[in-house]
Amino acid sequence: MNEYNFAYLDEQTKRMIRRAILKALAVPGYQVPFASREMPMPYGWGTGGVQVSAATLTPEDTFKVIDQGADDTTNAVSIRKFFENTAGVATTEETTKATVIQTRHRIPEVKLTEDQILVYQVPIPEPLRFLEPRETETRKMHSLGEYGLMHVKLYEDISQHGAISTAYAYPVKVSGRYVMDPSPIPKFDNPKLEMDAIQLFGAGREQRIYALPPHTKVVSLDFEDYPFEATKADHPCDLCGAKDSYLDEVIMDDAGDRMFVCSDTDYCRTRRAQGHDGRLSKEDAV
């Protein structure tokens, strides 16, 4: 694909995206409109993240792509290949070696550093969207800091179900100002949103970019008597024994037996290489 510019997009388009990124970093949690382009993968499949990555990558970068925490899920493979072809950057599956990580639905388990950039793919950037479908209204609510509707929703959850019934894409308040959708990460990942790395969020179809600069205060919305809780399956990983990682539940046989494994494949592999094992790691050796 040599006929395409570095990282597919032309330089003017990348500049336009970089301006949006800089604005987003200057106003943490604010959704900056940008003129999203049609990419050669479908809207909803990471075009926002891909455009942000394309505008962020330099030839010296090492790029990692995860989907559901894993490097080998089909769409992660597809996006990694796209940048191998169009940017020729080095790629890696090791979280610690990557300088730019594009992710869908997860934050890596390993603590990221200030030398890294985490790029999120975002389907619906507007945290208020399912409370108010109109963009004209939600933009007004953000500009006035009018988030009562969201608190009412959380309160209604508690009164109906006894708990806040949002398990992923759990809303957060950024620097005490904007309520932000952290993308559909499980709420287990929410505490990690305060980190050393730059976090960029790209929503291609909805034409929005937003960001969290390093060390930004990010608070998951809750009530004093119903505090936010980062939950995960109450098991250790069956392959590496980790008790602190987010787990996927896998159905193993027709009888419905389950196993629990780290969703972050690099984290799990690294731990196993270090000699950790879990309930089923012997069987997995075959």
Partner 1 sequence: MYVAVKGGEKAIENAHAWLAEERRGSTDVTELSIAQIREQLSLAVNRVMAEGSLFDPDLAALAIKQARGDLIEAIFLVRAYRTTLPRFGYSNPVETGQMACDRRISATFKDAPGGQVLGSTFDYTHRLLDFKLAAEGEVPLAPESQPRSEPIPHIADFLQDEGIIQDEPTSDATPGDLTREPMEFPAGRPLRLQSLTRGDEGFVLGMAYSTQRGYARNHAFVGELRIGKVAVEMDIPELGFAIEIGEVELTECETVNQFKGSKTEPPQFTRGYGLVFGQSERKSIAMALVDRALRWGELGEENLGAPAQDEEFVLSHADNIQATGFLEHIKLPHYVDFQAELELVRKLRLETDGRTTPQEAAE
What residues are labeled active site?
29, 237, 240, 262, 268
- Token look-up 């990282």 returns 7
CB atoms within 10 A of CB 172: 23
d(CA 31, CA 142): 10
d(CA 28, CA 178): 8
In the shown chain, the binding pattern of residues 37 to 66 toward partner 1, with x for contact by CB under 8 A and - for none, equals xxxx-xxxx-x-------------------
Binds partner 1 (CB under 8 A): choice among 24, 122, 240, 261: 261
In the shown chain, the binding pattern of residues 111 to 130 toward partner 1, with x for contact by CB under 8 A and - for none, equals ------------x-------
Asked if 282 touches partner 1 (CB under 8 A), the answer is no
* Interface with partner 1 in residues 69-98 (CB under 8 A): 69, 72-78, 81
Cα radius of gyration (the chain): 19
Number of residues that bind partner 1 (CB under 8 A): 71
> Residue ranges of the alpha helices (H) in the chain?
11-26, 47-56, 74-86, 135-143, 148-161, 265-273, 281-284
> Which range in 54-62, 67-75, 89-97, 140-148 contacts partner 1 by CB under 8 A?
67-75
Cβ proximity to partner 1, 115 vs 252, nearer residue: 252
Binds partner 1 (CB under 8 A): choice among 64, 105, 142, 192: 105
Asked if 102 touches partner 1 (CB under 8 A), the answer is no
Q: What is the chain's percent helix, strand, coil content, to nearest 5?
A: 30, 20, 50
In the shown chain, the binding pattern of residues 219 to 258 toward partner 1, with x for contact by CB under 8 A and - for none, equals ------------xxx-----x------xxxxxxx---x-x
DSSP 51-63: HHHHHH--TT-EE
β-pairing verdict for 218-220 and 172-174: antiparallel
> Which range in 54-62, 87-95, 99-107, 193-201 contacts partner 1 by CB under 8 A?
99-107
